[in-house]
Amino acid sequence: MTHNPLLETHKLPPFAEMRAEHVVPAVEALLSENRETIDRLAQQAAETPPTWESFAVPLEAVSDRLSQAWSPVSHLNSTMNTPELREAYQTCLEQLSVFGTWVGQHEGLFHSWQALKESDDWSALDAAQQRTINNALRDFRLAGVDLSADKKARYGDIQSRLSTLSNQYSNNVLDATQAWHKDLNSEEELAGLPSSALDTLKAAAEAKGVSGYRITLDFPSFFPVVSYAENRELRREVYTAFVTRASDQGPDAGTFDNAPLMEEILALRQELAKLLGFNTYADFSLTTKMADSPEQVLDFLGDLARRAVPQAKEEFAELSAYARDELGIDALEPWDIAYVSEKLREARHAISQEQLRPYFPAPHVINGLFQVVERLYGVQVEEDSEAPSYHSDVRYFRITEHGQPIAGFYLDLYAREGKRGGAWMADCRVRRQTEHGIQLPVAFLTCNFTAPIGGKPALLTHDEVTTLFHEFGHGLHHMLTKQHIADISGINGVAWDAVELPSQFMENYCWEREGLNLLAKHVETGEALPAELLERLQAAKNFQSAMGMVRQLEFSIFDLRLHHELSAPSASDIQTLLDDVRSATSVVPAAPFNRFQNSFSHIFAGGYAAGYYSYKWAEVLSADAWSAFEEAGIFDAATGQRFRHQILEQGGARDAVELFVAFRGREPSVEPLLRHSGIRAA
């Protein structure tokens, strides 16, 4: 076989050498190697009682080699998408799904893990090793190891089909987002837009060789138009294109329609759950989460809705009155909401996202973020400009402690063509013990901010700053782990409804004077954020917070009920359920053509199926964790080290609630979340 850069491990991905044609041969070679190793280890374990060293260690090594080859491929598919890479990715996705099913149903492998648990060595294993074994045995049962041969085969078919469908769903959203644009020649047509947004639209037009301004559905383009454009018809047109992506409605109706995919995905998920002995997919999903049952989750969400909906109705009534009395808009339409909200925020608090932009030049914000981390956890961050990269915007950094590297991360901040929207953290490499020593963790940290233009630094909104801190919180969870076993290292093995705790926790530093002193510096004058502006920012923190909360509750309740109440819903059934959830929870009228569900990638193409509630569940934990810092001081070193040790370093080594109690000294309380969100006591 010719040299294949994807087969190199224990160093950073060799992006400059990687080609789409390398992907399939590398993955096929590694899958073959994995199959041979797994069969051999299972055979050995059947002949001689397995030990951790003879069985678990070599199994982890071969699995990690595959992960290290696949992680950069998966990342490039999301950030540098091309037809060639997309095709290679899809081919491998199908093979990886078949392999995953084969591993999960490998009875020899299952019996080997079982033998480890039942061996005389069990009591000598440490807690992390025991946790790994217990998790493995649980996952075998969730993969159908106990099923009959025909049911095992059906399980494999379902998993393979689901991986294909989810990938196609994601591709449809990306393609639909990039298919639409609107070109305008005059600035007058874009009256109300701030200069930063005009610069972005102008740069988008220039990049395509056209004059004037180009509006796209990428967030840095779409959002300023619906938030600031005085032209109501333009707002309606752009809003309509955005909320009808990948559906049977809107300007590209039917071209990228995700409705048939959603129908098949949901039917297959429910069939999968039934196959494994669960009543619904929601029941299946919650077996690896903190929450005990769908009913418990719905009660939790219902309680938050009971507290938030009345206040959200008041906020919407205030918005409607302001629109009517001050802006002459008699009936608020969905494409008016962001625009009128921004006007009302400015009127009430004399502050706007645009007003804050000059204080958040990206280089200074990034440096401030690193200072926050240094003060909290005693680690340093330094750039390595020699590290291999995949785009000129992308930078690589090392985290060091006492002069020694402990982790690294890629920072990819700006929106571009071929990059899917949103913000996320992904593993590049996980921390684990190898025969050569500790393998250091590396993360991919990805956002979609407005790119710098004309040699000037990018200016971030305050919302973008909090997004950066959020994703870096995930990164810290991955990078500051002290676990030696891959399956419980970093965010691996962490209950999904607890995984947002470190990310949401980090956002708090974007609202406090001590944190903002490190982040905010005017791009031209160098002055810190003035006290008056800070007061207005903090006063506006909970502006429409109840409306924001019920919006998240709407998504969470819809997701859980979708996976708990409907067995094989049609697109019409899905819409009917969403309408029902909205009637009880939402205060903002939805446009009849809105097809939000068709681009709800979190649950149809991400890991959040029957788990979107995790954001709110974890927010209870993060708000309560933050209250410990409010009591001690937000940069209190002892509290920071306790949070690092009890939460970030532990990974999935112990139950999330156990870790929280170890940090906080008690069970979590919902009260800090309500207080931080400005939701009045019910």
Q: What is the pLDDT of residue 3?
A: 78
Asked if residue 236 has pLDDT above 70, the reply is yes
- CATH level 2 (architecture), domain 5-146: Up-down Bundle (1.20)
- pLDDT tens digits along 61-106: 999 999 999 999 999 999 999 999 999 999 999 999 999 999 999 9
Bridge-based pairing of strands 404-414 and 442-449 is parallel
2 has a pLDDT exceeding 90: no
Whether the predicted pLDDT of 45 surpasses 60: yes
Helices (H) and strands (E) in the chain, counts: 26, 9
Average pLDDT over residues 254-262: 98
Per DSSP bridges, beta strands 380-383 and 437-439 are unpaired
Across the range 97-126, mean pLDDT stands at 97
Question: Reduced to 3 states, what is the DSSP secondary structure of residue 216?
Answer: strand
For 655, list phi and psi in degrees, rounded to 5: -60, 145
Please give the model's pTM, rounded to 2 decimal places.
Answer: 0.95
- With cut-offs at 50, 70 and 90, classify the pLDDT of residue 592: very high
pLDDT on residue 10: 67
Please, which contacts does 369-373 make with residues 24 or more away whose CB atoms are closer than 8 Å? Answer: 369/468, 369/469, 369/472, 369/519, 371/518, 372/469, 372/506, 372/509, 372/515, 372/518, 372/519, 373/472, 373/476
pLDDT in tens, 664-679: 999 999 999 999 999 9
464 in catalytic set = no
| pLDDT reading at 7 higher than 90 | no
Q: Does residue 8 carry a pLDDT above 90? A: no
Q: Contact, 163 vs 100, CB < 8 A?
A: no
Span 449-476, pLDDT tens digits:
999 988 899 999 999 999 999 999 999 9
8 A C-beta contact, residue 90 and residue 77: no
Fold classified for 358-539+615-677: Neurolysin; domain 3 (1.10.1370)
Six token digits for residue 156: 């494999």
pLDDT of 93? 95
d(CA 71, CA 77): 10
For all residues of the chain together, what is the average pLDDT? 96
> 361-397: per-residue pLDDT in tens?
999 999 999 999 999 999 999 999 999 999 999 999 9
Domains 259-351+545-612 and 358-539+615-677 share a fold: yes
Compute how many other C-beta atoms are within 10 angstroms of the C-beta atom of residue 480: 24
Predicted confidence at residue 4, as pLDDT, reads 87
Predicted confidence (pLDDT) per residue in 541-566, tens digit: 999 999 999 999 999 999 999 999 99
What CA–CA distances, in Å, run from 630 to 86, 397, 400, 427, 626? 47, 30, 27, 31, 6
Contacts of 149 (CB under 8 A, 6+ apart): none
Instruction: Kindly state the average pLDDT of the residues 164-178.
Output: 97
Out of 3.90.50.10, 3.40.50.12160, 3.40.50.11890, 1.10.1370.10, the CATH code matching 259-351+545-612 is: 1.10.1370.10
Annotated domain spans of the chain: 5-146, 181-243, 259-351+545-612, 358-539+615-677
CA–CA distance, 50 with 55 (Å, rounded to integer) = 6
pLDDT at 6: 83
**414-457 pLDDT, tens digit each:** 999 999 999 999 999 999 999 999 999 999 999 999 999 888 99
Q: Give the pLDDT confidence score for residue 302 in this predicted structure.
A: 97
| pLDDT bracket for residue 357 (50, 70, 90) | very high
State the catalytic residue, choosing from 60, 263, 354, 471: 471
